[in-house]
Chain A
Amino acid sequence: MLGILPDGGRVGRGSVTVEGREVLGLPEKQRRRLRGRVVAYVPQEPMSNLDPTFTIGSQLVEPLRCVLGLSRREARARAVELLRQVEIKDPERVMGLYPHEISGGMAQRVLIAGALSCDPLLLVADEPTTALDVTVQAEVLDVLRRVQAQRGLGVLLVTHNLGVVADLCDRVAVMQDGRIVETGTTEQILTRPQHPDTRTLLAAVLDDAPARGEWTPPTVVSGAGTSTDRTEVTA
């Protein structure tokens, strides 16, 4: 819980630590310092997460100037570079477009670029592909994988989609009713699930044949900011 998500709800118990520091009791100002620079957030629904009244460019430039204190020109150059990193063609042109003029997949890339803009250590991606169609999903996951590898980033992916898990994750924590019921490496969880809930989850996907005949583990990169996070998100 990075301070902003719940409305109406309260933190009953549990703990959230970032870089070994407890976040839950921190005053708002200090938590704000973590946002963007230490922990960044990629939301679920790309289109509603961009301010419709500003251009893509100005939305990317804003945190660079406000949070990192870059000059206008530096921030612009950086924003174009970020768009290039998330594989957007013709970033100069996209900078001048408004959110309603781009596609969902492109918007999700822009959001990833925005999340990366202040060099975070951990990226929290909340079902980043749920709202996209399948081919675009694959592209966005590719982008996530690439920036993760390039930057040595920790990625905390929240998802229902076991295909995405198999594709992208090193370690998995299965959650049920807000509690982690099982953790392990992706291979363990997918091939030798221990907890009954995990089995139910897997059974729901592998209807006829296993999704992949031979599963090869992805190249394991232990991210620089791998944090022991225990967020109370219902999976």
Chain B
Amino acid sequence: MLTFLARRLGAGILLLLVISLLTFVLLSIPHADVGRALLGQSAPQAAVDAKNASLGLDRSVLAQYGDWLSHAVRGDLGRSWFTGEDVWSALGTRLPVTLSLVVGVTLVTAVLSLLLGVWAAVRGGLVDRCVQVLSVVGYALPGFLVTLVVVLVFAVRLGWFPAIGYIPFTQSVSGWLSTITLPVAALSVGAVAGVAQQVRGSVLDVLQRDFVRTLRARGLPPGRVLFRHVVRNASAPALTVLGLQFVGLLGGAVLVEQIFGLPGIGSMTVQYTTRGDVPVIMGLVMVSVAGVVVVNLLVDVLVGVLNPKARVA
């Protein structure tokens, strides 16, 4: 298990390296003339050249990347070209917002899709069909549409929650809850739909297995067989899908943060990418990729805990 984890971690670091290089190269193409953008159209060419040189832009892309990398491995992601803000501190204020969003959605999805999936699988019939139809609809509906409807109904019509804005957890717990509930709900719809389907499928699959019959033949209560044995066996594939959903959520967060006016990683990405602020974008990409790597690792560990057979692999 340990060597397995070490290997996965190594692969994660490699992934970070490759993605950082690719992102860096891609970013260097459209934003060659950053000095001009910074100083304005009327600035003399000499000043623009001097600005570009001071940012290191007169050197080759690879040299620039090497420079960035050598600082990054020491934990220095540099400063924003446009605001001069330290990238880490900019990330530090935005990250908690997106984290509370994404973690919230993941928890809600895990609980709801487990309940729905098991319910549909065990009950069958009408319940099963309703859950099936709802999850197809939920999965197919575009996220922005769900978000807009949610805002319209719960914020504008009913006025239960604020439509936009964010209150940090440290400032007010109830305020945090009220600002985070709608975005979480909006993002959860698609995720629950996808994972519930997976839970339903794997529960049905496990229910067919021989050991379930044998456990029943021992006289164990059906509820115990279901929640202790069936759900545990069915959870590994569901967890994998949940992990994938999490990765998708990072993308979904961009949209939802824009709509709800949440100052998170997603809205930050939009803001800085349009300006071509390379150090900040690099920081954002690194944090997102690291998040994905960590979540995948976590899923692997959890699957290993739940299913001893997977520990060997």
Which positions in A face B, CB cutoff 8 Å?
Answer: 2, 4-5, 32-37, 40-41, 43, 45, 48-54, 62-63, 66-67, 98, 100, 111, 114-115, 117-118
Contacts and interface: CB of A to CB of B under 8 A. Distances in A.
Per CB-CB distance, the 6 closest pairs between chain A and chain B, nearest first, are A36-B219, A41-B217, A35-B219, A48-B210, A63-B218, A49-B214
B31 interface: no
Interface in B184-224: 209-211, 213-222, 224
A43 B213 contact: yes
Given A53-B233, A111-B214, A100 B308 contact: yes
Interface residues of B, number: 22
B218 to A, nearest CB: 4
Identify which of B210, B211, B213, B216 gathers the most chain A CB atoms within 10 Å of its CB: B211
A48 B211 contact: yes
Chain A CB within 10 A, most for which of B215, B229, B306: B215
A230 B219 CA distance: 21
Nearest to B209: A48
Q: Which secondary structure characterizes the binding site on chain B?
A: helix
B232 interface: yes
A67 B218 contact: yes
B211 A63 contact: no
A100 to B, nearest CB: 5
Contacts of B211: 48-52
A43 B218 CA distance: 11
A114 B218 contact: yes
Contacts of A66: 219-221, 224
Contact of A4 (B217, B229, B233, B307): B217
Interface centre among A53, A63, A115 (most CB of B within 10 A): A53
Given A43-B210, A45-B210, A66-B221, A51 B308 contact: no
A2 B214 CA distance: 12
A118 B209 contact: no
Nearest to B208: A7
Interface of B: 209-211, 213-222, 224, 228-229, 232-233, 306-309
Nearest to B217: A41
A63 B214 contact: no
B220 A63 contact: yes
Contacts of B218: 35-36, 40-41, 62-63, 67, 114-115, 117-118
Given A48-B210, A51-B211, A53-B306, A4 B220 contact: no
Contact of B213 (A5, A63, A118): A5
Contacts of B308: 52-53, 98, 100
B13 to A, nearest CB: 31
Given A36-B219, A63-B219, A118-B219, A41 B309 contact: no
Contacts of B309: 52-53, 98, 100
Contact of A33 (B213, B214, B217, B219): B219
Nearest to B214: A49
Contact of A49 (B210, B222, B306): B210
Nearest to B236: A53
B311 to A, nearest CB: 9
Contact of B215 (A5, A40, A51, A53): A51
A21 to B, nearest CB: 16
Q: Among the interface residues B219, B229, B307, which one has the most CB atoms of the partner chain A within 10 A?
A: B219
A16 B217 CA distance: 16
